[in-house]
Amino acid sequence: MTALRDVRRPDFYLVASSPNAPVVPIELPVVAVVIPAYRAAPTIAGVIRSVPAFVRHVVVVDDGSPDDTGNVVRDQRDSRIDLVRLERNQGVGAAVLAGYARAAALGAEVIAKMDADGQMDPDHLLTLITPIVIGRADYTKGNRFLHARELRSMPGRRRFGNAGLSFLTKLASGYWDIFDPTNGYTAIHASVIPLLGEAPIGKRYFFESSMLLRLSLLRAVVRDVYIPARYPPGAASHLSESRAALQFPWRLLRGFVRRIVQQYFVRDFTAVSLYLVFGILLGLFGAIWGVWHWALASEAGVAATTGTVMLAVLPIIVGVQLLLQALTLDIQNVPTEPIHASVRLVTADNARVGRP
C-alpha cells in the first residue's frame, strides 16, 4: 500500500494499494494534528509551521508549561491553531487525550499526534494517516526499526530497551505484528475515541503502551507505518530507560492478564481458553508433585523412583506444549477488521460521523 498523493486541491488525493496498482481518487477527511507541549517555547513555532496544508486543525495543548510556550503559540499567524491550556502539568498522556477531545469537537475525523520537539517529520504525516483514510486501520503508529541507516542515530541503550519493551507489549496487547511501542507519532480515527471510555490510560510516558492495551480490548486494528528516526540537534528523549525498566513490565503484566481474561474467558471461550486452563493446571500439578516428592526423598535419604519422576515431568512437558499452542493461536488472532466502520452505523443518528 502506498501513501496518498496530492493531485490538484489540498483535499483531493490519489491512493494505490501497491506501487503497480491503478490509483483511485479519494477525498481526504478532516484531519487534525494534536501537539502536546511542555517547556516547548524554543521549538513549538517551527513544529506548527511545518504542519502540512491539508491539516484543517492544529490543536496545541499547553500542559501547564511554566515558560512562554502558550505565548509563542498565540503569536503564530495560523488560523488553524486552537490552543488548549491545562492549568497544571498532567503529563503527555493527559495532554493528548485533552487534544483528542478538542479535535473531535472541531469536527476532525482523523487525528494525528506530533510532539513539540521536532522529532516527528511532517513529511510522513500523509503516509501515517493513509491506512485509516482508506479503511484499513483504526490506529496507526510510526516504526523506526525498519530503516537501518536512520536507526544508527538512535542510542544503543534505547535500541535495546525498545526491542525488549516491544516484545512485552506484543504479549500484553496481542498486537504481534507491531514494533517500537513507545513511538509517539500516531494517528487515530475520531470515532474510536469515545469507545476508549473511562478505562485507565497512562497519563504520562506509559501513554502509548496503555493506548495499545486499551485498543486491544476493543479489537481495533493497529498498523505500523515505517517512518525513519529523526533526532534534531539538541533533541533528547524525556523517557528514562531505568524508569521504564522498573515500571513498564509490571503495568504490561497487568494488561496481559486483563486481556487474556477479557478476550478468552469473558467475551468468548475458545480452544485458547482450554489450552490455557489445562496447560496451567498440568504445569502446576507437575511442579507441586515434583517438589513434594523431592522433599520426601531428601528427608528419607533415598532416590525418588522413576515413576515418581515421570509423574512430575510429563505433566510439565504437556502443560508447556499446551501453553505454547495457546500462544500460537493468540498470535494468529490479531484483529484485522477495523471497528470504525461499524461505529459509524451505531452513532449515525446521534452524532457527526466520520468517513473511513
Q: What's 212's domain CATH number?
A: 3.90.550.10
Which of 187-201, 227-241, 276-290, 294-308 has the least mean pLDDT? 227-241
Last residue within a domain, chosen from 264, 284, 305: 264
- Does 301 share its domain with 204? no
- The alpha carbon of residue 233 and the mean position of all alpha carbons in its chain are separated, in whole angstroms, by 27
- Does 100 share its domain with 23? yes
- Band of residue 186 on the pLDDT scale cut at 50, 70, 90: very high
Assess whether pLDDT exceeds 60 at residue 254: yes
- Band of residue 325 on the pLDDT scale cut at 50, 70, 90: very high
Q: What is the pTM of this model?
A: 0.84
- Running DSSP on this structure, what letter comes out for residue 195? G
- Does 202 share its domain with 346? no
What's the whole-number mean pLDDT along residues 214-233? 86
- Does 69 share its domain with 174? yes
- Does 176 share its domain with 313? no
- Does 90 share its domain with 238? yes
The three-state secondary structure class of 12 is strand
- Does 65 share its domain with 104? yes
What pLDDT does residue 107 have? 93
- Band of residue 8 on the pLDDT scale cut at 50, 70, 90: very low
- Does 65 share its domain with 108? yes
Tally of CA atoms within 13 A in the half-sphere of 226 that contains its CB: 9
The three-state secondary structure class of 226 is strand
- Does 147 share its domain with 86? yes
- Does 169 share its domain with 281? no
Show the domain range for 298: 269-356
What's the whole-number mean pLDDT along residues 196-219? 84
Assess whether pLDDT exceeds 90 at residue 204: no
What pLDDT does residue 34 have? 97
Last residue within a domain, chosen from 249, 264, 279: 264
- Does 256 share its domain with 339? no
pLDDT digits (tens, 9 = 90+) for 264-280: 999 999 999 999 999 99
- Running DSSP on this structure, what letter comes out for residue 206? T
**Residue 222 — left, alpha, or beta (φ > 0 → left; ψ -120 to 50 → alpha)?**
beta
Largest CA distance in the chain: 88
Q: How many domains does the chain have?
A: 2
What's the whole-number mean pLDDT along residues 90-119? 92
What letters, b where the CB count within 10 A reaches 16 and e where it falls short, cover 260-298?
beebbeeeeeeebeebbebbeebbeebeebbeebeeeee
Query: 227: exposed, middle or buried (C-beta count within 10 Å: 0-12, 13-18, 19+)?
Result: buried
- Does 24 share its domain with 106? yes
Last residue within a domain, chosen from 264, 289, 324: 264
